[in-house]
Amino acid sequence: MSPSSTWRGVHFRMLRESQARQLLGVIEKLADVGVNVIIAEVDYSFAFARPETARYQFREAGHAPVSQQTAKALLKKARSCGIRLIPEFNCLGHQGINACRYPLLELHRDFDETPGHDDIPTRAWCPQHPGVMPVVLPLIDEIIGVFEADAFHAGMDEVLQIASPLCPRGCAQNNPAELFAGVVNQLHDHLTKKRALPMLMWGDRLVPQSTIPGANDHEASSNGTHGAIHLIPKDIIVCDWRFRKLSDYHGVYPSVRYFLDHGFKVWPAGGWLWENASPFSQHALELRKQNTDVLGFLCTTWNHITPLKAPISPSICDILPLWKNA
Ligand SMILES: [Zn+2]
């Protein structure tokens, strides 16, 4: 992938060994339609093996986590196809769903922003707990090592529990933007200074809901985090996701321009439905002609496995080739 290439990406949530093998089986087909970057989100569903990390493996009932052997095979295959493989580990938010806590919060109940409450659909770790980073950074480092990563995606989307009145460390007394930026900056320091890797993250917490007509609480910030955009380094690559229909956003996509105007490189990300992703890609292509800080387009799949089965989804096949000469 040359430095001037557009980023023609697919995001794949790879939470089981079987899903990793499925991806392995379609990498050549993805390369054929122009994919040159894969974001492989493993989170805790990875066969961590170091003494300090092994107990943080998340095993979905009846399924093995992604093995290090298959991760290596994916890397080898991706390289042979000219595809850059960037791992993702979800930070801060998405730490559990209601009573189901992922390993960090299951093993350290006190790390939770809302400890003792089971009715929290989007759990988060407490940004002020000093014990979190000494656990999380070794997990990230192991993923980086196995994937031989040259960039890292830290997630950070849909952080809805922050500055919570339920936090015993008094987070509610703090500015949510400063709390959010504090975690971003800790991760950025580690990734860029200690590991010399570019950092990617989702952008929804950095844009105020009022900027995007029709956006809901998940797509843009209504919980005070958006001021963090002024408190974090500009070399972070912001993955700006818009998954619904253009009409749901009242016919406009202001967010890509918003991030450009704030000095960031932006990687717009569309959903798995062609009819939703295609107009966002067209909009981003127009902006790319004016500003190469629009890096390309990222087709997401999330839990919709079928986009990677043959024939590969039209949202990938029809959209990404348009970016080849952009
Ligand atoms: Zn807290």
What are the structural domains, with CATH classification, of the chain? 7-323 (3.20.20.80)
Ligand 1 centroid to 224 CA: how many Å? 15
Ligand 1 centroid to 39 CA: how many Å? 29
Question: pLDDT tens digits for the chain (326 residues)?
Answer: 565 699 999 999 999 999 999 999 999 999 999 999 999 999 999 999 999 999 999 988 899 999 999 999 999 999 999 999 999 999 999 999 999 999 999 999 999 999 999 999 999 999 999 999 999 999 999 999 999 999 999 999 999 999 999 999 999 999 999 999 999 999 999 999 999 999 999 999 999 999 999 999 999 999 999 999 999 999 999 999 999 999 999 999 999 999 999 999 999 999 888 899 999 999 999 999 999 999 999 999 886 666 677 667 888 989 999 999 89
Ligand 1 centroid to 128 CA: how many Å? 5
- Which pTM does this prediction carry? 0.97
Quote the tokens at residue 50: 């170091």
Ligand 1 centroid to 101 CA: how many Å? 16
Contact present, 71 and 20 (Cβ < 8 Å): yes
Burial of residue 211, with CB atoms counted within 10 A of its CB: 0-12 exposed, 13-18 middle, 19 or more buried: middle
Ligand 1 centroid to 91 CA: how many Å? 15
Q: Mind spelling out the 3-state secondary structure of 161-227?
A: CCCCCCCCCCHHHCCHHHHHHHHHHHHHHHHHHHCCCCEEEECHHHCEHHHCCCCCCCCCECCCCHH
Distances in Å between the Cα of 303 and the Cα atoms of 73, 103, 273 are: 22, 20, 13
DSSP SS3 for 82? coil
Ligand 1 centroid to 105 CA: how many Å? 13
Nearest to 74, CA basis, from 87, 65, 61, 64: 87
Residues at Cβ < 5 Å from ligand 1 ion: 113, 126, 128, 167, 169, 171
Ligand 1 centroid to 175 CA: how many Å? 11
